[in-house]
Structure 1
Amino acid sequence: MANYDAIVIGGGPGGYVCAIRLAQLGLKTACVEGRETLGGTCLNVGCIPSKALLHASHQLHEAEHNFAKMGLKGKSPSVDWDQMKSYKQDVVDQNTKGIEFLFKKNKIDWLKGWGSIPEAGKVKVGDEVHTAKNIVIATGSEASSLPGVEVDEKIVVTSTGALDLPKTPKKMVVIGAGVIGLELGSVYARLGAEVTVVEFLDEITPGMDKDVQKTLQRILKKQGLSFVMGAAVQSVDKTKTKAKVNYKLRKDDSEATIDADVVLVATGRRPFVDNLGLDALGVKMTERGQIATDGHWATNVDGVYAIGDVIEGPMLAHKAEDEGMAVAEQIAGKSGHVNYDVIPGVIYTAPEVASVGATEQSLKEKGVNYKVGKFSFMGNARAKAVFQGEGFVKILADKDTDRVLGAHIIGPAAGDMIHEICVAMEFGASAQDIALTCHAHPTYSEAVREAALACGDGAIHA
């Protein structure tokens, strides 16, 4: 048994960042993690391996469709799937070992095993019980499924199984047109699979800007993905090597079936709080199974905090990281803060999609008087030079004050460019502030400036 100032349960992005910040602030810190490697779902079977496969498959797409246009001629590369998976694993290993190094550097104890909280101030890992003045729950989330759909991670898979299939399927059905489904659907479509996305709602990427939804779906269709919208999956019938997805269309209750070699269930995630002992501890939960916290990430049990996917808010690694740093500051007697109005979201398809702040729909619902500045990447020289002229930057600003309220980008490097808007919003900048800031030429980010100009007297290259 050991005594700590703080124990963090969970070594994912929220947990390991929290542990590092606690140690930097001078607190004796331990982190509980049962995986063989640190980094949680994100680094091991989520964000990082999926980005490796997205990058590799995008290079294949470029070779097959754009190399010859640039005078790069020759046979298209063949796909060695096992080698691609090895590359993916190398990327994962580099990152997880990096976290382990940071733990050693900051003198954080890694308590290997699965943790529970038998009582306030105590954390049990295996047969050992450790004491801590503060406990932070950062156990993340797990994939959720649907009634009538049994996941075996072979034929019917979650994102975890989809990242490690033994071979590329000929036919894949993706249930859910959210971020995970579209990203992994894109990977396999580029690798030659016939991909069909089945979505319950009438639009993809629920909650995102309507213009982005329509544009992204149109582009993905051109890339070979098929969509069945407004469809409620009833069941999935499996054999040893195949599956049938049975669904009903909401508009007329008609029923249909799609054959598949692999079915990816991408219908969202749920908080992972199993075996923590929260019921016995008396931790208050929300109706959606999340841990209830106050404005300082504290639960109703003294000395117990929670961050990341187990509490309310978007299930995003960077949101968990922000909360991890903030709650560490709070525990250390400082003032931790997270601005939930400025948390960007990114979809790593090609083109990328990124957004932050308000959508037009949310502003209309609130009765906000707003204006729109929009600029197409067809007017951006750099984007056209690399065959990525589809898409746009859209900035929403207050009509009276010109203050930036949100932005939505679909185009090259959108996930990086969105942070210019994030910084602007953090400082309460106006669209004119962005428009009057010199942007290097030729860069994709000039499209952001043009959209800001469009909020005023008009874009130059439109």
Structure 2
Amino acid sequence: MADYDVIVIGSGPGGYVCAIRCAQLGLKTACVEARDTLGGTCLNIGCIPSKALLHATEMLHEAEHNFAEMGLKGKSPSVDWKQMLAYKDKTISQNTGGIEFLFKKNKIDWLKGWGSIPEAGKVKVGDETHNARHIVIASGSEPSALKGVEVDEKTVVTSTGALELGKVPRKMVVIGAGVIGLELGSVYRRLGAEVTVVEFLDQITPTMDGEVAKQFKRMLGKQGFEFVLGAAVQSVETKGGKATVHYKLRKDDSDASLEADTVLVSTGRRPFTDKLGLDALGVELERGMIKTDDHFRTNVAGIYAIGDAIKGPMLAHKAEDEGMACAEGIAGQHPHVNYGVIPSVIYTHPEVAAVGFTEEELKEQGRAYKVGKFPFMGNARAKANFAGEGFVKLLADAETDRILGAHIIGPMAGDLIHEICVAMEFGAAAEDIARTCHAHPTYSEAVREAALACGDGAIHV
């Protein structure tokens, strides 16, 4: 048995960041993880491996569609799927190994195994029980189940199985038009699969700004995506390595079906808190999520929770922010997480990124606002790089000009959004961005132009 100041349960982005920050602040820290590698879902079977496959297939798309026009002649590359998966696995091992190095550097003990909390102040891992003044639950999330659909991770898969398919399917049905489904659908569409997305609601990515969602769907359609919206999946039948998706159209209650080689179920995720012993401890839950106060404290003294296990968007960077803030609070500091400035990104091509309010939300609030938009077709760098589709949209208060939100669909949107995040953290006005010199030629000039459009008008449109 060992005594610790802090034991963190889970080594995903929230957990490992919390553990490292605790150690940096002088707290004796351990982290519980049952996987053979650190990094949680994100590094092992989520964010990182999916981005590797997205990058590889985007390079394939460039070679097939744009190389010849740039004067790069020759036979298009063939796909070695096994080698692509090996590249993905190498990317995973480099990143998970990096976290293990950071644990050693910061003298964090890795308690290998499944953790539970038999009582406040104690964490059991295997046959050993450890004492801790503070326990942080960072147990993450798992794919949500869908009634009538049995996942085998071979023919009917979650994101986990979709990263390990034995071969590229000829036909894929994606259930759910959210981030995960569209990203992984993009991977297989570029590899030649026929991809059909079945969504219960009447639009894709329902929390996204409506104008961006409409443009996004149109762009994906041009890439070959098929969409069946307003459809409630009833069941999935499998036979002989094939699948049939049965669904009901909500508009007329009619039945229909789709055949597929692979069905990807991407209908969201739910907090993973099984076997922690929360019921016996009396830790309060709310709709399956651990209930916490503004300092990540549960109703049981000495027990905290962060990341996907608590309310809020299930994003790795949100968990990281909470991990740092939780650690700093335990150390006696006074941290703060600004939930109004947490960006979201979809890593398709083009990328989609957002922060702050959507137009729909501002209208619902009855708030007076103005819109500054600029198309990437007016950006010289984007046109040179075959990336002229999409736009930057800035929302600002009609009276004060303070930035309220931003929505970008276009090249490097996931990187461009952070200029606006910084501006919002400092309470900046659109004019502040408009009067800031931006290097030419860069994609970031489109952000400045959108800010100019909130005032007297953009220059290059």
TM-score category, normalised to shorter length: over 0.9
2:326 — aligned with what?
Answer: 327
Could you list the runs of 5+ residues in structure 2 that have no partner in the other structure? none
Aligned length: 461
Name the counterpart of 1:258: 258
Q: What is the distance in 2 between the residues matched to 1:207 and 1:262?
A: 27
SS in structure 1 opposite 2:142?
strand
Which residue of 1 is the match for residue 103 of structure 2? 103
- 1:405 corresponds to: 404
Matches within 5 A, 1:133-282: 133-282=133-282
* 3-state DSSP of counterpart to 1:401: coil
User: Does 2:418 match 1:419?
Assistant: yes
Three-state SS of the structure 2 residue aligned to 1:104 is helix
The AA in structure 2 aligned to 1:345 is: S
1:11-38 deviations in Å (ceiling 9; x for gaps):
0000000000000000000000000000
Deviations 1:258-277 (A, max 9, x none): 00000000000000000000
Q: How many Å apart are 1:211 and its aligned residue?
A: 1.1
After TM superposition, give the deviation of residue 133 of structure 1 in Å.
0.2
Cα deviation, residue 145, structure 1: 2.0
1:62-73 alignment to 2 at 5 Å?
Answer: 62-73=62-73
TM superposition score normalised by structure 1: 1.00
Q: Is the 8 A contact 1:308 1:317 kept in 2?
A: yes
Return the alpha-carbon distance in structure 1 between the equivalents of residues 307 and 154 of structure 2. 29
The answer to whether the 8 Å contact 1:373/1:451 transfers is yes
Shift in Å at residue 201 of structure 1?
Answer: 0.5
Deviation at 1:248, TM superposition (A): 0.5
Does 2:61 correspond to 1:61?
Answer: yes
Q: Name the SS of the counterpart of 1:49 in structure 2.
A: helix
Alignment of 1:311-460 (within 5 A): 311-460=310-459
Alpha-carbon distance, 1:297 to partner:
0.4
1:341 is paired with a residue of what secondary structure? Answer: helix
Q: Give the Cα separation in 2 of the matches to 1:78 and 1:217.
A: 28
The one-character-per-residue Cα deviations of 1:179-227 (angstroms, maximum 9, x if unpaired) are 0000000000000000000000011011100111011110101111100
Structure 1 unmatched runs, 5+:
none
Which residue type is aligned with residue 310 of structure 1?
A: A
Partner SS state of residue 234, structure 1: strand
- Report the CA distance between 1:240 and its aligned residue: 3.0
- Distance in structure 2 (CA, Å) of the matches to 1:36 and 1:176: 31
Distance apart, 1:141 and its partner CA: 0.1
1:107 positional shift: 0.2
Cα deviation, residue 351, structure 1: 0.3
**Letter of the 1:408 counterpart:** H
Letter in 2 for 1:81: W
Name 2:75's counterpart in structure 1: 75
Deviations 1:233-282 (A, max 9, x none): 00000113100000000000111110000000000000000000000000
> Secondary structure at 1:279's aligned position in 2?
helix
- Structure 2 letter corresponding to 1:453: L
The separation in 2 between residues aligned to 1:300 and 1:54, in whole angstroms, is 42
Report the Cα distance in structure 1 between the residues aligned to 2:423 and 2:451, rounded to whole angstroms.
Answer: 11
- Measure, in 2, the Cα distance between the counterparts of 1:418 and 1:106: 32
- The alpha-carbon deviation at position 336 of structure 1 amounts to 1.7
| Aligned counterparts, 1:26-41, within 5 A | 26-41=26-41
- RMSD over aligned CA atoms reads 0.4
Runs of 4+ in 1 over 3 A off after TM superposition: none
